Chain A
């Protein structure tokens, strides 16, 4: 690991001033950054430790929403009573990610900005447009079993690996950013960018911005929601495909649906087409499958990951079925 200067920021003003210097990087839990620095993929000159910033609270807002400080640990967020009862899909999504040890370290802001797990991205001997624009992409035609089926390009087919973000996309969360220039808020849906011809541009954050908080809107339908993750082993593995879903059914008719997919794109994939196909329809197995197919119509496979398309169809259908069964039992 390259040597660097270490600064511990005690307040937000100091942190955003420090990040404005070239070569500076924020350090949250370090579970992604330290790993990539050790492999010489990230080479900051200055590391600004933000874990002592007073952004570690989960607060219920007067308008019914919830504000989550960017430095809240993943494990603390998943264990929080408000999240477990009002947004269970978010607690479940976090709990399926990484391990107990890593969730104790990982922060909400770091989770949003974690880099892809494409094996070539972390391999300095491989060609990777994301790491070195213009170099080429060894995943296209190479090992791409876990590549994207939505929104990939000729430049990059990598996925965003976060589980938490899939639930945040389904919940219409907002990201709050702060810099010396001021504060701005962006919807999480769309915050992560599709690769196009510049896969090095991964999110809408500017180089000098700090994520200060994530906000969840009041969303009654989320009280009946689930996160289902399919992977190569039962735990401590990244998703092949995952589904965050919420469903409201009245008299057998779907009155509200939220659906997002993980492991399928460079962004947590909000499944708008499937949501539209569900709305107003009967809460039946056939309808669930129809909705899944409506979304997957746009899916495109790489050489090794065609299985993901059918897997996603089945995972969507199974998750909705489970929500429907639990709902009618309640």
Chain B
């Protein structure tokens, strides 16, 4: 067992974990934060997306011990206008992917604001990249939605990026 201390949604949490426990399971099973979802448990769907020091990651492929002393934000700690945009634009149906979508979108918008390019960016050296629907779709491709609410998701993100 390893003592792991991390900041989750602003409060310090102390956990006693086996090293094999994933960050996702630590959040859900040990801290009771079930807003973060388990879809595939193999990095292929994005349902488990959380923010670590502001960067989005897939928590299912993260060992919790590796994230000791880091600042974790889950959907329970998010208070952002993008949540209203998801409601306004019907950015979900069943809602299973939504917490991952929202955490991913927040991380993605920060990456874009910092000037990061994507695979569909035409001119890679550009200082400023227009966040077109095509850019949003590519940058959000790590979040699958089984209900196919993609059009609403893209519209919600576009609204909150303005």
B-binding residues in A (CB < 8 A): 1-6, 8, 27, 29-31, 34-35, 37-38, 47, 49, 51, 75, 78-79, 81, 84-85, 88, 91-92, 95-96, 98-102, 104-105, 234-236
Q: How large is the interface on B (under 10, 10 to 19, 20 to 34, 35 or more residues)?
A: 35 or more
Q: 30 A-B pairs, CB-CB below 8 angstroms?
A: A3-B20, A6-B19, A8-B66, A27-B66, A30-B62, A30-B66, A31-B61, A38-B41, A38-B42, A47-B19, A47-B63, A49-B63, A75-B116, A79-B111, A79-B114, A79-B117, A88-B124, A88-B125, A92-B119, A92-B124, A99-B46, A101-B49, A101-B107, A102-B61, A102-B142, A104-B57, A105-B58, A105-B61, A235-B137, A236-B142
A37 to B119 CA separation, bound complex (whole angstroms): 30
A51 touches B125 (CB 8 A): no
Among A6, A37, A101, A235, contact of B138 (Cβ-Cβ < 8 Å): A235
A49 to B70 CA separation, bound complex (whole angstroms): 15
A114 to B119 CA separation, bound complex (whole angstroms): 21
Residue-wise interface mask of B (110-136) relative to A, using a CB-CB cutoff of 8 A (1 in contact, 0 not)? 010011111101001100000000000
With A92-B124, A98-B142, A99-B141 already in contact, the answer to whether A31 and B56 are too (CB < 8 A) is no
Q: Chain B residues with Cβ under 8 A from A8's Cβ?
A: 65-66
Q: Chain B residues with Cβ under 8 A from A99's Cβ?
A: 43, 46, 58, 141-143
With A84-B117, A88-B124, A92-B124 already in contact, the answer to whether A101 and B104 are too (CB < 8 A) is yes
Shortest distance between the CB of B126 and any CB in chain A (Å) = 9
Q: Chain A residues with Cβ under 8 A from B107's Cβ?
A: 100-101, 104
Interface residues of B in 76-120 (CB under 8 A from A): 104, 107-108, 111, 114-119
Q: Chain B residues with Cβ under 8 A from A236's Cβ?
A: 141-142
Among B18, B19, B108, B125, contact of A100 (Cβ-Cβ < 8 Å): B108
A250 to B118 CA separation, bound complex (whole angstroms): 30
Q: Can you name 9 extra interface pairs (CB under 8 A) apart from A100-B139, A104-B55, A105-B62? A: A34-B22, A34-B63, A35-B42, A85-B124, A98-B142, A99-B143, A105-B57, A235-B137, A236-B142
Q: Chain B residues with Cβ under 8 A from A2's Cβ?
A: 20
Q: Chain B residues with Cβ under 8 A from A31's Cβ?
A: 43, 58, 61
Q: Chain B residues with Cβ under 8 A from A234's Cβ?
A: 138, 141
A101 touches B58 (CB 8 A): yes
A107 to B108 CA separation, bound complex (whole angstroms): 19
Q: Chain B residues with Cβ under 8 A from A37's Cβ?
A: 20
Which of A1, A4, A104 is packed against the most chain B CB atoms within 10 Å? A104
Shortest distance between the CB of B143 and any CB in chain A (Å) = 8
The 5 A-B pairs of least Cβ separation, nearest first, read: A99-B142, A235-B141, A6-B19, A79-B116, A95-B119
A125 to B55 CA separation, bound complex (whole angstroms): 37
Among B58, B111, B115, contact of A102 (Cβ-Cβ < 8 Å): B58
Q: Chain B residues with Cβ under 8 A from A4's Cβ?
A: 19-20
Q: Chain A residues with Cβ under 8 A from B140's Cβ?
A: 100
B19 touches A75 (CB 8 A): no
Shortest distance between the CB of A282 and any CB in chain B (Å) = 27
A75 touches B111 (CB 8 A): yes
A4 to B66 CA separation, bound complex (whole angstroms): 14
Among A47, A85, A91, A100, contact of B56 (Cβ-Cβ < 8 Å): A100
A91 touches B141 (CB 8 A): no
Q: Chain B residues with Cβ under 8 A from A84's Cβ?
A: 117, 124-125
A35 to B19 CA separation, bound complex (whole angstroms): 14
A91 touches B142 (CB 8 A): no
Which of B41, B55, B63, B108 is packed against the most chain A CB atoms within 10 Å? B63
B58 touches A96 (CB 8 A): no
